[in-house]
Structures are given as structure tokens and as C-alpha cells.
Chains A and B, each alone.
Chain A
Amino acid sequence: MTPRIAVLLNTLGLYVISVVLLEAFVFQITLQELPCPLCLLQRVAFTALAVGPILTLRYGPKPSHYGLTIIAALAGAGIAARQVLLHIQPGDPGFGSSILGYHFYTWAFIFFIGAIAACAAVLLFNKQFSGRAQPPSLGLFERVAVWLVIGIAFLNAAGALIECGFGFCPANPVVYELLHRPDTT
């Protein structure tokens, strides 16, 4: 695998992360389902996944960049696994809607494990690390991927602030704290 192919794969990874985060945001708005703290933590872990690929795009492929992605994916998988276990009892309806038979946290767990497997697979190819220490030349496709995921991270920051307000998020949020006017009558 050449450094060029590694950069392409990392770029595609950034687009996948962006699609996942955007899809969660769209479902939150269209289904009027507010994400719980564990759901938000999984989104944070998805955001953390993007740091390694951005470093690869900027400085070229290095094992340490994949290490960052694996650490973020392990954290995300742990958080998602906890939420799966909270609802594992037969008869439990789970939290929120499901898509293709699985709840979002189950999909998140599968995705995080897939990210670890993908990093392990890419790390098998040493040739990508043997290139000169020269930043790769990037086109519009790569630059859009970077700025898209950064923009979505800030979008999630705004969404979390509107949902949780200035304190800790409630365990089962039902209203957007910053938009909610308490009934004083």
C-alpha cells in the first residue's frame, strides 16, 4: 500500500465519520429524539476518531496516527457496550428508535469494532510508512473531508449546549434545556 492509497483510505474514513455524525443529527431532529448522555459520549468518540486521519492527511501515514484512532474506537466501543448491556434483558424496548433492527448504540458498537479492525488491517502494510517525511499533496476531496468533520464537531457542540444547557445532561433528556421555558403558572 502506497502512502497515496493510505491517504485516500483515511479521507474515506473521514467521510464515513461525517456521514455517521450527520445521520445521528438528522434522526435527532426529524424523530424528535434527544440523545442521552451515553449517546452523546458515543458521538464524542466518533469525533475523536477523526483526529488520527486528519494527522495522516496533514503529515502522511504514521503508526501513531492509527494508534489514536484505535484508542478513540476502544473508548467508543466501551461506552456503546455499556449501553447495550443496560438494555440486554429480553423484553426491554431499548433506548430510542432502531434502524434495520438494531438500536443506534448497537450500530455504534459494531462501527467502533469495525474501525479497530480496519486500522489493524491497514497497519499490516508497511510500505505506506517507508515514504519520505513529506506531507502529502492534498486536493479538494481531502480538504473538504477535513473541514466537513471539523464543522460537524462544532455543530455537535452547539447541539449539545442547546440540549443540556449549562449543567450536566439529565440521564433521560426530554426537552432542549436552552429552548425550554419553565412553566411558572
Chain B
Amino acid sequence: MFFAGLFSLFAATMLVAWFGTPRKAFMLFALAMVLTGALYLHHASSKLPLSF
């Protein structure tokens, strides 16, 4: 669900970039990037099968 939300948020950012104002698109982009970083940190801190 979180990845689906991220993809949808970036798609919404593109729609805002096309139909809305650049300022709103920049704000949505910033929000989506922060959420991407948060999701990355969540998965980076989970146990992964390492090769060493």
C-alpha cells in the first residue's frame, strides 16, 4: 500500500505540474521525496539477506 501511495503521489505531482502551478508541484514533489526517504529508511533498517 505504501509503494502504491508513493507512485500515486508522484503521478498526482505530474498532474499538478501539468494542470496546476509549479509551486504546488514543487511542494508535492518535496512531500513525495520525504516519504520516499522514510520508506527507504524503513526497509534499510529491516533485516536483508546479505552476501557477507
**Nearest CB on A from B39, distance (A):** 7
Q: Are A50 and B37 in contact (CB under 8 A)?
A: no
**Cα separation A88 to B39 with both chains bound (whole Å):** 23
Check if A79 is an interface residue, CB within 8 A of chain B: yes
Q: Are A160 and B14 in contact (CB under 8 A)?
A: no
Looking at chain A, what size class is its interface with the partner chain? 35 or more
Known: A150-B15, A153-B10, A153-B11. A41 touches B33 (CB 8 A): no
Q: Are A48 and B48 in contact (CB under 8 A)?
A: no
**Cα separation A91 to B50 with both chains bound (whole Å):** 12
Interface positions of A from 50 to 102, Cβ below 8 Å from B: 50-51, 54-55, 58-59, 64, 68, 71-72, 75, 79, 82, 86-89, 91-92
Number of residue pairs spanning A and B whose beta carbons lie under 8 angstroms apart: 112
Q: Are A171 and B47 in contact (CB under 8 A)?
A: yes
**Which chain B residue has the least Cβ–Cβ distance from A91?**
B51
Contact of B50 (CB < 8 Å), options: A44, A86, A158, A165: A86
Looking at chain B, what size class is its interface with the partner chain? 35 or more
Q: Are B37 and A157 in contact (CB under 8 A)?
A: no
**Nearest CB on B from A136, distance (A):** 13
- Chain A residues positioned under 8 Å from B39 (CB to CB): 37, 41
Known: A75-B33, A75-B37. A164 touches B14 (CB 8 A): no
